């Protein structure tokens, strides 16, 4: 027990020191400055070549989403995730140790070149995320958390980071085991991570881009806007275009859907008028009792209908 508590304490102080050091020491592998730089770059692109010309530079919820960036990228790690994940990894390894298993590496990728390693990691991680994202839409209890991201009414780059912190826990836990099995540590992919942040920023940006033929490989603003459509086609009640960085999974598995230019479609979800506006209320929303009661009632009614 003491061991795990020490890990928690070390994670807190370790991460705090790390963050202060990040800000004080700009370098080429610095998360803080890369995030800041990529955000400014995509924001400038939005300002120079906007898709919806009438959309304000400081669009609806610009500051809320900027806070989400700070929270989800830094503060959440600072106040908890770092500690939790370190304990999780230690528990997991100790659990394996009970059976005399030292590691779960099934495929050795270390012998491959760095570029191939990163590419494999990027593709596998993205495919896992595509699957997780589909579940966020399909499972009612996960959807309650994912609603935060779909409460976006006006798109801009920062909207990428408007999501409930539970999503970080769900995504990372599901990713950890498969990536560990092929010998990747979750921390070692700076390049992959920043590349995904860049594409994610672009997906949500006010840019009328689809990258031409490359749009069948990479997710893009003209595709992702349909993912945020309030109205869903009757044959796709759980949505479409679930890709994060890559769009190829949606094309392979038949979940791609771009019926027309989605520049001015209404964004959101059924019933979003009732959804809270601020950070605090959005964060507590999925845990609130009355929501659970409403959910249960809906479920009962659905069952009755069947
Ligand atoms: Zn979604
Ligand atoms: Zn989105």
Mean pLDDT rounded to a whole number for the chain: 84
Handedness of CA 252, 214, 29, 43 (dihedral sign): negative
Q: So what's the pLDDT on residue 161?
A: 94
Contacts of 40-49 spanning 24+ positions with Cβ under 8 A: 42/157, 42/198, 42/201, 42/202, 42/205, 43/156, 43/157, 45/205, 45/207, 46/156, 46/157, 46/205, 46/206, 46/207, 49/207, 49/208
Instruction: Supply the pLDDT for residue 290.
Output: 62
168, 81 in Cβ contact below 8 A? yes
Q: What is the pLDDT of residue 8?
A: 65
Residues 6 or more apart from 154 whose CB is under 8 A from it? 55, 59, 60, 61, 267
Mean pLDDT by 10 residues, the chain (306 residues): 70 69 78 90 96 92 90 68 62 70 64 81 91 96 96 95 91 76 63 90 96 97 97 94 97 96 94 92 84 56 53
d(CA 280, CA 285): 8
Ligand number with the minimum distance to the CA of 65: 2
3 state SS for 19-66: HHHHHHCCCCCCHHHHHHHHHHHHHHHHHHCCCCCCCCCCCCCHHHHH
The whole-number pLDDT of residue 252 equals: 97
Cα separation, 172 vs 36, in Å, equals 23
Structure confidence at residue 14 (pLDDT): 67
Distance, CA of 305 to CA of 282 (rounded, Å): 31
| Per-residue confidence (pLDDT) for residue 22, from 0 to 100 | 76
Q: Say how far apart CA 168 and CA 173 lie, in whole Å.
A: 8
DSSP secondary structure string for all residues of 142-169: HHHHHHHHHT-SS--GGGGG-S-HHHHH
pLDDT of residue 40: 96
Cα–ligand 2 centroid distance for 244 (angstroms): 8
Q: State in Å: Cα 204 to ligand 2 middle.
A: 6
Query: 83-113: per-residue pLDDT in tens?
Result: 666 666 666 677 767 777 666 665 666 677 7
Q: Which ligand is nearest to the CA of 200?
A: 2
Q: Which ligand is nearest to the CA of 219?
A: 2
Helical residues (DSSP H) of the chain, grouped into ranges? 2-24, 31-48, 62-70, 76, 82-98, 114-138, 140-150, 165-181, 190-204, 221-227, 248-252, 279-284, 289-305
Q: How far is the CA of 78 from the centre of ligand 2 (A)?
A: 24
pTM for this predicted structure: 0.82
Å from CA of 135 to ligand 1 middle: 9
CA of 235 to the centre of ligand 1 (A): 17
Give CA–CA dist 258/233, Å, rounded: 11
Sole residue written with tokens 């099934």: 106
> What pLDDT is stored for residue 20 in this prediction?
79
What is the 276 CA–ligand 1 centroid distance (Å)? 18
Which of the ligands is closest to the CA of residue 132?
A: 1
Which two structure tokens, joined as six digits, stand for 199?
């594409």
């Amino acid at each position: 027990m003491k061991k795990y508590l020490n890990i928690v304490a070390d994670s807190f102080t370790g991460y705090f020191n790390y963050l202060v050091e990040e800000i004080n020491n700009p370098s080429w592998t610095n998360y803080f400055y890369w995030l800041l730089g990529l955000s400014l770059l995509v924001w400038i692109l939005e300002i120079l070549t906007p898709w919806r010309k009438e959309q304000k530079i400081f669009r609806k919820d610009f500051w809320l989403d900027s806070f989400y960036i700070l929270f989800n990228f830094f503060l959440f790690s600072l106040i908890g995730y770092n500690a939790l994940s370190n304990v999780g990894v230690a528990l997991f390894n100790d659990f394996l140790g009970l059976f005399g298993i030292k590691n779960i590496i099934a495929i050795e990728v270390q012998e491959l070149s760095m570029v191939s390693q990163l590419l494999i990691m990027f593709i596998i991680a993205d495919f896992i995320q595509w699957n997780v994202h589909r579940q966020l839409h399909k499972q009612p209890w996960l959807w309650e958390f994912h609603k935060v991201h779909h409460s976006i009414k006006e798109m801009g780059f920062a909207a990428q980071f408007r999501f409930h912190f539970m999503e970080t826990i769900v995504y990372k836990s599901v990713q950890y085991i498969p990536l560990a099995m092929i010998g990747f540590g979750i921390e070692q992919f700076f390049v992959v991570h920043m590349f995904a942040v860049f594409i994610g920023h672009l997906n949500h940006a006010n840019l009328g881009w689809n990258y031409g033929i490359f749009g069948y490989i990479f997710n893009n603003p003209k595709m992702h806007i349909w993912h945020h459509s309030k109205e869903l086609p009757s044959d796709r009640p759980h949505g479409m275009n679930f890709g994060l960085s890559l769009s190829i999974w949606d094309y392979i598995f038949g979940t791609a859907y771009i019926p027309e230019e989605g520049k001015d479609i209404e964004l959101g979800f059924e019933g979003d008028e009732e959804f809270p506006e601020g950070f605090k209320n959005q964060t507590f929303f999925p845990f609130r009792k009355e929501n659970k009661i409403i959910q249960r009632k809906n479920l009962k009614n659905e069952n009755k209908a069947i």
